[in-house]
Amino acid sequence: MSSFTVRSTALTLVASFLMKLLEQTPDWQGPSKTEFDLRLRELIEKLEDAEVRIDLVYVAEAVLETAAEVALL
Amino acid sequence: MNTFPPPAKFLVEPYELRKAGTILLTSIAMIEASHASRAGRPVAFLYGQALLAPLVKDLVHLANACVHTAGNYESCEAALTPKFLAGFEQFEPLLVKAAAAVALAVETGLGGGETPVVVTQSRVTGGSASAAAGINGEANALSALVHQLGATADAREISVEVSTHPDGRQFKVFIPGTENWQPLTSSNAFDLTSDLAAMAGPGVAAPERAVIKALKQLGFGTQHGDSILLTGYSEGGLVGANLIASGAVTALGGSVAGLVAVGSPISSSHLPAATRVISIEHVNDPVTRLDLSDARPTNHWFKQKLDPVGLLGHSLAGYRGSIDGLGAAETTKLSAELEQMQKIDAGASEAKTYWFHVKRS
């Protein structure tokens, strides 16, 4: 299960990097900032959503694999 | 009614844009590495690929927008102030090195950081990578090196091919790229920790010390005429550059024949002017731009840009495919460069390849 946690950590880390990027560009003004901000926030949400969905599939696949192994024993 | 948005205006320092681009590119590399580790679960891997591909594409688009905008600003500044660009380009890689050093220090403070390494010889095999593909442009000699690099990465080891020639022995070292992207130090020496250490500067990263240990075990530098050709992928190329820059290899007694780096951020490495370098880069590989430099520091530095492959252009498989498919003109040119680095003669003995397992202690 440790590699599963690592994957989640990596994507969380990416999302946190990107959020910091938004916070650390205070001089960025005007419509371009807004557009960049919106697109990046949307991307972060999608990344977090993807993380949950992929993890669910990953766990389901692991469970099915284990069940198949048990059934074969 | 005009429905177009008003023109975008930037009121931002170019450094901020560069920083934004670097963070985005780093994030992309982490997403790719994280996703690659799902390969063991094919359903989750394919599902993840479908979900992440459009997101990564969007991130690449944003990163390119940041880097290009910063580039345009710098071009204008350069036209107005001739010394600006040269000064800026020298300054940027220093910022990256400083950032990597700080990140490594933080990691060390959290209980991680660099550690000693244990290097164990695992096996010896016969045959030569370069002999397998031919020389002098008859076949793609670079392809043979990159395939051996792939075999080394697959084995999760480093390998050293040793051949004896009338004028001395040649050691060809193959160094893989980052294998573990965990934020904290792992038992694998090719991890994010050694990545940060290698970016910060020569002489610290575990893989550098591992290569020196392997070379000592093989007696490199103990015979007259010993020379070394370093070949590395991604972090491995940077490790090779650091080994040359620090003088660690020549301190063993041998000479440096050259460096072949595949998808590595080595443009800001300070190598001796006489060092022969071949740097292979896909134009869409973000990793090669992590040091924020695209320089060709010396006349002996041969940079081969390849057409974009895949979404990110960093996978070793992608590089293998591109190099295998090079046209006759490029193949001849690269083979001629390689000929300057490799000892090629009829009197050479059968080469042996020594494989080394590397782990942190």
Chain A interface mutation, best of B17, B30, B45, B51, highest count of A Cβ atoms under 10 Å: B51
- The answer to whether residue B9 is domain-embedded is no
pLDDT higher than threshold 90 for residue A1 = no
- The answer to whether residue B296 is domain-embedded is yes
Instruction: Show the domain range for A48.
Output: 2-72
Distance CA B225, CA B170 (A): 8
Distance CA B29, CA B269 (A): 21
Q: Quick one: pLDDT at residue B105?
A: 66
Q: Beta partners for B260?
A: B231, B278
Measured between beta carbons, the chain A residues lying within 8 angstroms of B183 are 9-10, 13
Single out the residue of A41, A47, A51 nearest to residue A21, CA to CA.
Answer: A41
**Of the residues B109, B136, B167, which one is the last residue of a structural domain?**
B109
- The answer to whether residue B264 is domain-embedded is yes
Residues B87 and B122 in one domain: no
- The answer to whether residue B3 is domain-embedded is no
- Closest residue on chain B to A62 (Cα): B41
Higher pLDDT, A44 or B350: A44
Q: Quick one: pLDDT at residue A9?
A: 55
| Mean pLDDT of all residues belonging to chain A | 73
Residues B284 and B197 in one domain: yes
Residues B149 and B274 in one domain: yes
Q: How many domains does chain A have?
A: 1
CB-hemisphere CA count at 13 Å for B68? 6
**Of the residues B109, B131, B164, which one is the last residue of a structural domain?**
B109
CB contact under 8 A, A17 and B23: yes
Measured between beta carbons, the chain B residues lying within 8 angstroms of A61 are 41, 43-44
Residues B57 and B74 in one domain: yes
Q: Quick one: pLDDT at residue B35?
A: 76
Residues B132 and B35 in one domain: no
| β-bridge pairing B158-165 and B352-360 | antiparallel
CB contact under 8 A, B183 and A24: no
- The answer to whether residue B76 is domain-embedded is yes
Looking at the complex, report in whole angstroms how far the Cα of residue B63 sits from the nearest Cα belonging to chain A. 11
Instruction: Show the domain range for B79.
Output: 14-109
pLDDT digit string, tens, across residues B214-250: 999 999 999 999 999 999 998 999 999 999 998 889 9
| Model confidence band, residue A30 (pLDDT cutoffs 50, 70, 90) | very low
Residues B356 and B312 in one domain: yes
Q: Quick one: pLDDT at residue A25?
A: 57
Give the pLDDT mean for A12-28.
65
**Of the residues B109, B140, B160, which one is the last residue of a structural domain?**
B109
Residues B264 and B355 in one domain: yes
- The answer to whether residue B2 is domain-embedded is no
Q: Quick one: pLDDT at residue B215?
A: 94
Measured between beta carbons, the chain A residues lying within 8 angstroms of B8 are 30-32, 35
- Radius of gyration for the alpha carbons in chain B, expressed in angstroms and rounded: 21
Q: By three-state DSSP, how is residue B120 classified?
A: strand
pLDDT digit string, tens, across residues B102-144: 666 666 666 666 778 889 999 998 866 555 444 434 447 788 8
* Residue with the two structure tokens 């020569």: B202
pLDDT higher than threshold 80 for residue A15 = no
Measured between beta carbons, the chain A residues lying within 8 angstroms of B59 are 43
**Sign of the four-CA dihedral B106, B107, B110, B114:** negative
Task: State how far Cα B352 lies from the chain centre.
Answer: 25
Higher pLDDT, B230 or A21: B230
CB contact under 8 A, A7 and B62: no
Residues B183 and B47 in one domain: no
Residues B123 and B226 in one domain: yes
Residues B138 and B278 in one domain: yes
Q: How many domains does chain B have?
A: 2
Q: Quick one: pLDDT at residue B136?
A: 39
Structure pTM?
A: 0.63
Within chain B, which residues score under 70 in pLDDT? 1-16, 73-113, 127-139, 182-184, 292-299, 311, 344-348
Residues B84 and B214 in one domain: no
Q: Quick one: pLDDT at residue B361?
A: 80
Q: Are the beta carbons of B172 and B141 closer than 8 angstroms? A: no
One-character DSSP codes across B171-211? EEEEE----B--SS--SBSSBHHHHHHHHH-TT-SHHHHHH
Single out the residue of B136, B144, B130, B137 nearest to residue B324, CA to CA.
Answer: B144
Q: Quick one: pLDDT at residue B115?
A: 76
- The answer to whether residue B243 is domain-embedded is yes
